[in-house]
Amino acid sequence: MEKRFFCCLAAMIISTFILWQPCYIQAGTLNKIWSAAKELWEEEPQEVRDLRNMDVAQTDEEHQEYYFKQLSKDEQRVYREILKGIRDRKEQFYLTLADDDSIDRTYHAVLKDHPEVFWVHNRKKIYKTTYSDRNYCLFTPGYTYSKSEIEEIKTAMEESYQEVEKRIPEGSSDYEKVRIVYTYVIDNTRYETGEDDQNIAGVFWKKSAVCAGYAGAVQYLLEKLSIPCIYVDGSTRESTEGHAWNIVKIGESYYYVDATNGDQPDFLNGNASQLEEHKTIIYDYLCPFPKEYEKMYTPSTELNVPKCTAEDLNFYVLNQGCFDIYDWQTIYDYCKMRLDNQAAVVRFKFSNQEAFDAACQEWLDSGEVQNVAQYYMKLNGLTQVEYHYGVLDDFYTIYFIF
């Protein structure tokens, strides 16, 4: 009411001067009066002005916030506004930007940096109320879960973290911590669609999720272990399907980690993937060779991700199971060594297509795997054994499971 009265009064004063004293009014005076009235009429809400004057924190405890650092100063302010509004579970709150692209990019950065705000359901639409020619808006995110459910999920998250901590021996390297988190998420999650499959509640609460849940859970656990971990989303080669995975920093190098695919044993022949005793973690997706992983997945271009180049922490490299050339005796000796160490899974990979093709032709097509099966029977005093094999073509990997 006060604003309207002032504008009307200002208009009356202007009209009066024009009507009765036209010769004494200068254009500059009229412009100043009009500008003052317009400024008051278009004044931002006090809450928006307060937000613009607040300091923008550059860090947040326990969170790396990799994507926050890529945003402009204005977007970083909005990032903090969104994060606070979500943490406070506000149904609606102001943002000091109105541009759709900037707000969407910033909102996505918040979700990728903060898997712990799981009550924002990332499959639901967000709504923005914008005002013509104003650089602010009202933001309405979509929430899910009741207060009691949120507390229950948080308890499950903390219990999972405590379980992971117990699995980590004192003095473990960062790689070993990453491996333990990778195996923990796989061992305790079913790949399954459902209402909670897109966030970490699916993993820690319902024990089932899809790629978004797996990647968020890995990020949540590794950040609590002080290991830099980035949530990445993107596309699958020759497919319209999206995918989510992680990039971790170990030492000074970045590595891909994809727990979702580590829990997909369907490449095994026959019914092996359905047998509980043959459930195996696929380590090909733990620090894979970048050039091989990138043949399958491409990250979104909305925000940048670091380049992965290192190969030294690949599972097969660390376990002397990666070969540059194919030699029958070398592979046979490696299989025997694995079985001598009581392994039920024998797996090895090659660094190139030529060596991989030669191994597949001799061991699978020509049946040389029978020699390993016979060695397994002799070693364990058996007269027969059932085994399964599988190949991961993109990683040049061969599996034998007994």
Give the end of a domain, one of 88, 109, 140: 140
This prediction has a pTM of 0.86
User: What's the token pair of residue 103?
Assistant: 């707000």
Tokens standing for residue 283: 């380590």
Assess whether 308 and 329 both reside in one domain: no
Q: Are residues 237 and 270 in the same domain?
A: yes
Please count the structural domains in the chain.
Answer: 4
pLDDT confidence of residue 16: 34
Phi, psi (degrees; rounded to nearest 5) at 62: 75, 5
| Residue 139 CA, distance from chain mean position | 23
Domain final residue pick, 283, 317, 351 = 317
Give how far Cα 49 sits from Cα of 42, 97, 136, Å: 13, 12, 10
Q: Which residues contact 313 (CB under 8 A, 6 or more apart)?
A: 175, 250, 253, 255, 287
Same domain? For 186 and 335 the reply is no
- Assess whether 357 and 372 both reside in one domain: yes
Low-confidence ranges of the chain (pLDDT < 50): 1-25, 36-41, 272-273, 277-278
Does one domain contain both 263 and 352? Answer: no
> Do 74 and 154 lie in a common domain?
no
* Chain segment 305-332, per-residue pLDDT in tens: 999 999 999 999 999 999 999 999 999 9
CATH number for 308: 3.10.620
Tell me: do 242 and 162 sit in the same domain: yes
Residues 281 and 327 in one domain: no
Instruction: Tell me: do 370 and 230 sit in the same domain.
Output: no
Q: Which domain holds residue 77?
A: 46-140
- Residue 252 β-bridge partners: none
Shared-domain flag, residues 229 and 241: yes
Kindly state the DSSP code that residue 285 receives in the 8-state scheme.
G
Distances (CA, A) of 64 to 106, 227, 244, 246: 16, 9, 18, 13
Residue 160 and residue 281 share a domain: yes
Domain end among 101, 117, 140: 140
The per-residue pLDDT for 29 is 58
pLDDT single digits (tens) 246-269: 999 999 999 999 999 999 766 665
Together in a domain, 328 and 312: no
